[in-house]
């Protein structure tokens, strides 16, 4: 099967500091990949690098066979990548509806499966709060809104950082996203629940990839779990 996303020997820098040291990773269309590892190991930097938000990157980042490395975030978004960052980033002074409609865009090949009505039906809480300003939402509601905004761009892959930070409803949302055939890279600390839903688990350590395999392969390696994830 053709890969949706291919990352090869990716190196990322913040100023003089090299944060990623040769990350290679491939994601198939519709695949759910969990990205885990201890604090400061480079998970957020990897997601931000894929979205074009890290100023200096080297190596390969291909989406559907075309390079997106070094492209602007807007171009990468148009190519089909959506980021749900930690801390979210909804527009506080705009309403729920305004936040959603401003993100609206056809996906690749003119795909428009995700409309305002569809997003509101997946997130009834957002429908109830439709006229509220972004700053009047709870953390969990802000997360739903950010995921709703990501879906409004009709993406091929959604990158979700610190997924359970908002609320536990994220697990339902991930199932919906998966049902749509949208690929995901999900960063979270809840390894048990991630292992239940993910097709693959990728463990990062010190800016590199330490393990890449199925949930059952990971769970059968207690030494790796303890060393890189602090699990006993």
Ligand X SMILES: Nc1ncnc2c1ncn2[C@@H]1O[C@H](COP(=O)(O)OP(=O)(O)OP(=O)(O)O)[C@@H](O)[C@H]1O
Which residues from 43-102 bind Mg ion, rule CB under 5 A? Answer: 43-44
Which residues from 25-44 bind Mg ion, rule CB under 5 A? Answer: 43-44
Q: Which is nearer to ligand X, 103 or 187 (CB)?
A: 187
Measured from the CB of residue 18, what is the shortest distance to Mg ion in angstroms? 17
Q: Which is nearer to ligand X, 39 or 66 (CB)?
A: 39
Q: Could you tell me whether strands 157-160 and 183-187 are parallel, antiparallel, or unpaired per DSSP bridges? A: parallel
> Which H or E run contains 84?
strand 81-84
32 binds ligand X (CB under 6 A): no
Q: Which is nearer to Mg ion, 20 or 79 (CB)?
A: 20
Measured from the CB of residue 153, what is the shortest distance to Mg ion in angstroms? 22
19 binds ligand X (CB under 6 A): yes
Report residue 140 CA to chain centroid gap. Answer: 16
* Tokens linked to 129: 């709060």
14 binds ligand X (CB under 6 A): yes
17 binds ligand X (CB under 6 A): yes
* Tokens linked to 154: 């009709």
> Which H or E run contains 215?
helix 215-219
Which residues from 107-146 bind Mg ion, rule CB under 5 A? Answer: none
The span of 32-40, 69-77, 118-126, 166-174 binding ligand X (CB under 6 A) equals: 32-40
Rounded CA separation 48/35 (Å): 13
Quick count: other Cβ atoms within 10 Å of Cβ 157? 24
Walk across the sheet containing 200-205 and list its strands. Answer: 81-84, 157-160, 183-187, 32-36, 200-205, 208-213
Number of residues that bind ligand X (CB under 6 A): 11
Binding region for ligand X (CB under 6 A): 14, 17, 19, 37, 39-45
């Amino acid at each position: 099967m053709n890969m949706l996303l291919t990352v090869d020997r990716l190196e990322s820098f913040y100023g003089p500091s090299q944060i990623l040291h040769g990350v290679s990773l491939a994601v198939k269309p519709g695949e759910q990949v969990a990205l885990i590892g201890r604090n400061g190991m480079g998970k957020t930097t990897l997601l931000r690098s894929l979205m074009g938000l890290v100023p200096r990157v080297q190596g390969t980042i291909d989406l559907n066979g075309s390079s997106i490395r070094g492209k602007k975030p807007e171009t990468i978004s148009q190519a089909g990548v959506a980021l749900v960052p930690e801390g979210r980033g909804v527009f506080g002074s705009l309403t729920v509806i305004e936040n959603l409609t401003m993100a609206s865009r056809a996906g690749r090949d003119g795909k428009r499966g995700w409309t305002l009505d569809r997003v509101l039906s997946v997130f009834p809480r957002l429908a109830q709060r439709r006229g509220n300003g972004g700053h009047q939402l709870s953390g969990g509601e802000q997360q739903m809104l950010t995921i709703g905004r990501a879906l409004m761009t009709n993406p091929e892959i959604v990158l979700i950082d610190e997924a359970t930070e908002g609320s536990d409803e994220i697990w339902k949302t991930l199932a919906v996203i998966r049902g749509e055939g949208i690929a995901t890279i999900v960063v979270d600390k809840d390894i048990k629940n991630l292992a239940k839903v993910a097709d693959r688990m990728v463990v990062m350590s010190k800016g590199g990839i330490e393990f890449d395999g199925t949930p059952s392969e990971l769970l059968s390696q207690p030494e790796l779990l303890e060393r890189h994830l602090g699990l006993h």
